């Protein structure tokens, strides 16, 4: 099936050369039989040249090989980091997993999460603990999760209506509004510089929450929009209206519940991305509990390799759980309709 | 001013507002609905983006900014523009200024362009394989390739350290290969250690290049998957049936169809490349614009200069995005 077609090569046109000037004249002339002139632009030569034959033979293995190399390049360090976070040390080719008869160790995790009694530095870095049902949760992590949740709530209030407006109605300026809603117009670091003076009187937490919701809004709008696009919104709205529901009631009790898949997927993705937002947080954060991404940054830049691996693995664990949740609502990973 | 002097614009605005607040026709009611649906987004955009950006521009031209913003001066902009001019070859020698900003802007642009081209090229290959080949475990592949989208830039940088650091995976492989009976005597472990090198050296920049790809390839891939989903497969099947080789089919049938998608992916991926910050902050391999912000703010807290540079960055990104979406065949598919 991938072989070149078995056609005898014409003695004169068998080469893969583009048509010469004499040929192009003939191409532009109207055909004598009254048919349409030949197509403009590059037309492939009849017979595959050497390159094309080579591509036929090697193309598919090369493409599949590239995909495999890319997947290994992307995923192997993730697995290595997670595995190494349980290792005693990593000095040789492979991390040392067994030492003195002890297989794997949790010491890196304990240090990263500040659970060792002696490590006061790490505990201070984490801002102490909240105890929820007897489980100690580092304030940095718990607080970031709540901040991200706040951002998601704002995103829901903002993203669902705008997605409905641009999908359902046709109005002046709709294209522009759509572009602004699905493109992150301001990069995180620029927004951070802009927030420095504007909201310097607000607590860091409020500024961070507003920033998170603005930076991650496109993901919510895209997810909800793709749900709306698969529905016949006009019919749905008109049926509900003709049965006597007011417009606000129609929107809240008919339209929104029907888009719950997109809303849930959008909320999960926005929450995860907000919980680990770095560029904006790094510039804006000044006081109060530290955002999770800054905790990661401190681990990466200051702490021993394996402890940093454990800290990052906390986030990997969150992403894996979130990916599983996304699968459950029918969304494959973070490939949210072409993320920007 | 009496009501009789009202201009036509004011009168229209007044009737427009009245219609919006107490609509009488169905069209007016629909307008009110659209306004109500758009209101939360507009409010967030105003408080979260417009107001901060206006304040930022104000500070970039302010004399006094630490307590209250006051006065007007253009020192920050003059410094910035002189620095850019000083970097331009030919003109530069005539301008007496430190070309540092010109240099970081140039670094951002060329590095962003190089990484964008590489990411989109890889993205085309991966999207093609996912869409056209019947790969085993395709769902898993999609999930795995999309995984790095969730990782912030600092983690992407850490992944590069895991690959190429002092005890990185690849470094260790070469140490192992290059032991007593060296298989590659020319390639020592030292040469694959890409991270932790002095800033600006070729090898450090190559490490950063891979770090950028780590974040950008998955994004480019999923932007291109949108384009691939809309390809007319009948035309491809016809081309194959008429004797075109797979390469000819791709070159003359598939590629023309996904070209608008590729242009769109290039635009959006280039924006992503310009905005990457965490990866550079950890690897410190090349002084790009985003990295410069850190230095300006951490050393001396020179807010007017930071604001001016951010303003320039903002104008460039917005202008670039909208002009390129307007004047190319770019198609931004979801």
Residue B67 falls within a domain, yes or no? no
Look at residue A82 and tell me if it is in a domain.
no
Do B13 and B80 belong to one domain? Answer: no
**pLDDT at residue B191, as a whole number:** 55
Alpha carbon dihedral A252, A257, A259, A263, in 10-degree steps, equals 90
* B55 and B92 co-located in one domain: no
Which range (A23-32, A252-261, B85-94, B175-184) has the least confidence? A23-32
Better pLDDT: A46 or B22: B22
Could you report the per-residue pLDDT of B146-168, keeping only the tens digit for each? 888 888 889 998 988 888 877 77
Q: What is the DSSP string of A9-34?
A: PPTTT-S-PPP-HHHHHHHHSPPTTS
The pLDDT score that the predictor gives to residue B118 is: 94
pLDDT band at B115 (very low <50, low <70, confident <90, very high): very high
Neighbours of B110 (CB within 10 A): 12
Question: Could B56 and A198 be called an inter-chain contact, meaning their C-beta atoms sit closer than 8 Å?
Answer: yes
Question: Are A223 and A296 in a shared domain?
Answer: yes
| Domain shared by A186 and A323, yes or no | yes
Selected residue with higher pLDDT from B314 and B26: B314
In terms of C-beta density within 10 A (0-12 exposed, 13-18 middle, 19 or more buried), how is residue A286 classed? exposed
Give the C-alpha separation, B57 to A200, whole Å: 16
Task: For A59, name the nearest residue in chain B, comparing CA atoms only.
Answer: B247
Task: Note whether residue A164 is domain-resident.
Answer: yes
Task: Inform me whether the pLDDT recorded for B333 exceeds 60.
Answer: no
* Cβ–Cβ below 8 Å for A44 and B244: yes
Name the band, by pLDDT with cuts 50, 70 and 90, for residue A320: confident
Residue A87 near residue A306 (C-beta atoms within 8 A): yes
Comparing CB atoms, the residue among B41, B223, B321 nearest residue A162 is: B41
The answer to whether residues A250 and A117 belong to one domain is yes
B314 in a domain, yes or no? yes
Other C-beta atoms lying within 10 Å of the C-beta of residue B238: 13
Kindly report the average pLDDT of chain A as a whole number. 76
Single residue among A53, A77, A101 that ends a domain in this structure: A77
Ramachandran area for residue A132 (φ above 0: left; ψ -120 to 50: alpha; else beta): beta
Please tell me if residue B36 touches chain A, with a CB cutoff of 8 Å.
yes
Q: Report the domain count for chain A.
A: 2
Distance from C-alpha of A298 to C-alpha of B158, rounded to nearest angstrom:
12
Query: Mean pLDDT over residues B246-258, rounded?
Result: 86
Which region among A104-108, A292-296, B244-248 has the lowest average model confidence (pLDDT)? A104-108
Report how many domains make up chain B.
Answer: 2
Percent of chain B with pLDDT over 90: 8
Predicted local confidence at residue A21, as pLDDT: 44
Mean pLDDT confidence for A8-35: 45
- Asked if A197 and B59 come within 8 Å (Cβ–Cβ), the reply is yes
Query: Does pLDDT of B114 surpass 90?
Result: yes
Residues B139 and B278 in one domain: yes
HSE-CB at B192 with a 13 A cutoff on CA atoms is: 21
Does the CB of B274 have a partner CB in chain A at under 8 Å?
yes
Q: Is residue A85 part of a domain?
A: no
B123 has pLDDT over 60? yes
Per-residue pLDDT of A211-261, as tens digits, reads 888 888 888 888 888 888 888 888 888 888 889 888 888 888 888 888 888
In a domain, A233, yes or no: yes
For residue A97, tell me if it sits in a domain: no
Beta bridge partners of A135: A132
What residue numbers bound the domain in which A244 lies?
110-328
Q: Are residues B53 and B111 in the same domain?
A: no
Nearest Cα neighbor of A47 from A105, A6, A88 is A6
Residues of chain B found within 8 Å of residue A193, distances taken between Cβ atoms: 56, 293, 297, 306-307, 310
CA distance to partner chain B, nearest, from residue A271 (Å):
11
Residues B36-48: tens digit of each pLDDT? 888 999 998 888 8
Give the three-state DSSP class for A222: helix
Q: What is the pLDDT of residues A170-226, one digit of tens each?
A: 888 888 888 888 887 788 888 888 888 888 778 888 888 888 888 888 888 888 888
Q: Which residues share a beta bridge with A89?
A: A96
d(CA A24, CA A30): 12
In chain A, residues with a C-beta closer than 8 Å to the C-beta of B294 are 282
B152 and B237 together in one domain: yes
Q: What is the dihedral angle through the alpha carbons of B235, B240, B242, B248, rounded to the nearest 10 degrees?
A: 90
The CATH code of the domain that includes A145 is 1.10.3720.10
Q: Is the pLDDT of residue B192 over 70?
A: no
In a domain, B147, yes or no: yes
B chain contacts of residue A272, beta-carbon cutoff 8 Å: 150
Name the residue among B51, B142, B333 with its Cβ closest to that of A198.
Answer: B51
Q: Nearest chain A residue to B267 by CA: give it.
A: A340
Q: Is residue B68 part of a domain?
A: no
CB contacts of A322 in chain B (<8 Å) are 150
Instruction: Clarify whether residues A36 and A150 are in a common domain.
Output: no
Residues A207 and A285 in one domain: yes
CB-CB under 8 Å, B30 with A169: yes
Q: Looking at the structure, do residues A207 and A284 belong to the same domain, yes or no?
A: yes
**Among candidates A182, A332, A340 on the partner chain, residue whose Cβ is nearest the Cβ of B139:** A332
Find the residue in B nearest to A155 (Cα): B41
Pairing, β A102-103 against β A129-132: unpaired
A139 shares a domain with A41:
no
The DSSP-derived string for A34-81 is S-PPPPPS----SS--HHHHHHHHHHHHHHHHHHHHHHHHHHHHHHHH
Backbone phi, then psi, for A98, in 5-degree steps?
-115, 130
Examine residue B333 and state whether it is found in any structural domain, yes or no: no
**Domain ends where: A31, A56, A77?**
A77
Q: Are B81 and B97 in contact (CB under 8 A)?
A: no
pLDDT value for A16 = 44
Q: Are B219 and B275 in contact (CB under 8 A)?
A: no
* Pair B14, B122 in one domain: no
* B55 contacts in chain A (CB < 8 Å): 194, 197-198
| A156's tokens | 């829901």
Q: For residue A33, what pLDDT is reported?
A: 55
Check residues A333 and B24 and name the one with the higher pLDDT: B24
Domain check: are B8 and B40 in the same one? yes
- CB-based contact A334:A276 (threshold 8 Å): no
Of A25-29, A196-200, B72-76, B113-117, give the range with the top mean pLDDT.
B113-117
- Which is more confidently placed, B212 or A176? B212
> Do A151 and A45 share a structural domain?
no
Q: Of A121-135, A148-162, B295-309, which range is least confident?
A: A121-135
pLDDT reported for residue B112: 92
Do residues A168 and A259 both lie within one domain? Answer: yes
B173 shares its domain with B101: yes
- Residues A80, A82, A85, A88: what is their CA dihedral angle, to the nearest 10 degrees? -50
Q: What is the ipTM of this complex?
A: 0.82
Q: Buried b vs exposed e over B169-187: b needs ≥16 C-beta within 10 Å?
A: bbbbebbeebeeeeeeeee
Residues B278 and B179 in one domain: yes
What token pair was written down for B108?
């951002």
Q: Which residue has the higher pLDDT, B12 or A16?
A: B12
Q: What is the DSSP letter of A173?
A: T
Cα B100 from Cα B80, distance rounded (Å): 9
* Element at A98 (helix H, strand E): strand A98-99
Yes or no: say if B119 and B213 are a contact pair by the CB < 8 Å rule: yes
From the CA of B243, how many Å to the nearest CA of chain A?
6
B49-108 pLDDT per residue, tens: 888 888 888 888 887 777 677 777 778 888 888 888 778 777 767 777 777 888 888 889
Mean pLDDT, residues B134-142: 83
CA atoms within 13 A on the CB side of B34: 18
Q: What are phi and psi of A150, to 5 degrees?
A: -60, -45
For tokens 């055909």, what's the residue? A31
CA–CA dist A277, B252 (Å, integer): 42
Residue B212 confidence (pLDDT): 92
Q: Which residues of B touch A305 (CB under 8 A)?
A: 161, 165, 167
Asked if residue A11 has pLDDT above 60, the reply is no
Residue, of A118 and B292, whose pLDDT is higher = B292
Percent of chain A with pLDDT over 90: 4
Lowest mean pLDDT among B133-137, B172-176, B290-294, B298-302: B172-176
* Residue A42 pLDDT class (50, 70, 90 cuts): low
Across chain B, what does the average pLDDT equal? 81
The residue count for chain B: 334
Same domain (yes/no): B203, B114: yes
Nearest to A108 by CA among A250, A320, A338, A307: A307
CB contact under 8 A, B297 and A194: no
A115-142 confidence digits (pLDDT tens): 665 555 555 566 666 766 666 777 778 8
Please give, rounded to a whole number of angstroms, the shortest distance from the CA of B12 to a CA of chain A.
16
In a domain, A220, yes or no: yes
Q: How far is CA B225 from CA A265, A336, B115, B327, in A?
A: 19, 11, 19, 23
B82 with B50, same domain: the answer is no
Average pLDDT over residues A87-93: 72
Report the pLDDT value the prediction gives residue A22, as an integer from 0 to 100. 43
pLDDT of residue B116: 94
Q: Is A74 in Cβ contact with B133 (below 8 Å)?
A: no
Q: With contact defined as beta carbons under 8 Å apart, do A225 and A217 qualify?
A: no
Q: Which domain holds residue B51?
A: 3-60
Give pLDDT, residue A247.
Answer: 85
Give the closest of A279, A336, A340 to B268, CB-based.
A340
């Amino acid at each position: 099936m991938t072989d070149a077609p078995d056609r005898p090569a014409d003695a004169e046109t068998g080469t893969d050369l583009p048509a010469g000037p004499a040929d192009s004249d003939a191409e532009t002339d109207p055909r004598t039989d009254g048919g349409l002139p030949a197509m403009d632009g590059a037309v492939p030569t009849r017979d595959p040249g050497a390159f094309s034959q080579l591509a036929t033979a090697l193309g598919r293995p090369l493409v599949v090989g590239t995909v495999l190399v890319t997947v290994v390049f992307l995923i192997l360090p993730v697995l290595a980091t997670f595995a190494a976070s349980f290792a005693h040390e990593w000095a040789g080719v492979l991390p040392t997993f067994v030492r003195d008869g002890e297989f794997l160790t949790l010491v890196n995790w304990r240090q990263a999460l500040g659970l060792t009694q002696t490590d006061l530095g790490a505990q201070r870095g984490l801002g102490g603990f909240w105890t929820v049902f007897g489980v100690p949760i580092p304030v940095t992590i718990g607080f970031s999760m709540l901040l991200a949740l706040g951002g998601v709530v704002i995103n829901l209030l903002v993203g669902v209506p705008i997605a409905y407006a641009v999908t359902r109605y046709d109005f002046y300026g709709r294209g522009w509004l759509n572009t602004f809603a699905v493109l992150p117009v301001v990069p995180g670091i620029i927004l951070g510089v802009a927030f420095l003076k504007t909201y310097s009187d607000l607590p860091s937490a409020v500024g961070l929450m507003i920033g998170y919701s603005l930076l991650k809004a496109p993901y919510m709008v895209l997810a909800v929009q793709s749900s709306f696009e698969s529905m016949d919104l006009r019919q749905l709205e008109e049926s509900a209206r003709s049965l006597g529901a007011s417009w606000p009631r129609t929107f809240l009790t008919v339209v929104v519940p029907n888009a719950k898949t997109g809303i849930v997927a959008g909320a999960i993705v926005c929450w995860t991305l907000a919980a680990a937002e770095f560029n904006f947080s790094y510039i804006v954060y000044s006081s109060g509990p530290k955002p999770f991404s800054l905790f990661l940054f401190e681990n990466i830049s200051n702490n021993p390799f394996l402890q940093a691996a454990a800290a990052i693995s906390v986030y990997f664990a969150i992403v894996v759980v979130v990916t599983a949740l996304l699968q459950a609502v029918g969304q494959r990973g973070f490939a949210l309709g072409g993320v920007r | 001013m009496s009501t009789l002097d009202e201009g036509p614009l004011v009168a229209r605005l007044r009737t427009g507002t009245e219609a919006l607040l107490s609509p009488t026709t169905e069209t007016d009611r629909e307008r009110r609905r659209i306004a109500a649906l758009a209101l939360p987004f507009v409010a967030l955009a105003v408080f979260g983006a417009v107001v901060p950006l206006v304040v930022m521009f104000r500070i970039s031209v302010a004399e006094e900014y630490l307590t209250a913003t006051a006065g007007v001066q253009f020192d920050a902009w003059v410094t910035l523009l002189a620095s850019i001019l000083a970097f331009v070859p030919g003109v530069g020698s005539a301008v007496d200024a430190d070309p540092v900003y010109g240099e970081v802007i140039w670094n951002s642009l060329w590095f962003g362009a190089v990484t964008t081209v590489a990411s989109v090229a890889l993205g085309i290959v991966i999207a093609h394989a996912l869409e056209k080949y019947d790969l085993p475990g395709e769902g898993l592949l999609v999930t795995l390739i999309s995984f790095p989208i969730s990782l912030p830039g600092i983690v992407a940088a850490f992944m590069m350290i895991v690959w190429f650091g002092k005890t990185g995976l690849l470094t260790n492989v070469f140490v192992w290969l290059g032991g007593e009976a060296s298989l590659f005597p020319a390639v020592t472990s030292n040469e694959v250690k890409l991270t932790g090198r002095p800033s600006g050296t070729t090898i450090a920049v190559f490490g950063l290049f891979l770090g950028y790809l780590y974040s950008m390839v998955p994004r480019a891939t999923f932007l291109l998957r949108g384009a691939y989903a809309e390809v007319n497969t009948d035309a491809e099947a016809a081309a194959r049936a008429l004797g075109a080789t797979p390469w000819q089919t791709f070159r003359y049938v598939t590629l023309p169809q996904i070209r608008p998608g590729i242009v769109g992916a290039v635009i959006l991926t280039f924006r992503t490349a310009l905005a990457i910050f965490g990866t550079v902050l950890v690897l410190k391999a090349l002084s790009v614009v985003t990295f410069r912000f850190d230095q300006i703010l951490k050393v001396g807290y020179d807010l007017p200069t930071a604001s001016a540079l951010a303003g320039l960055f903002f104008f460039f990104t917005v202008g670039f995005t909208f002009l390129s979406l307007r004047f190319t065949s770019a198609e931004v598919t979801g």
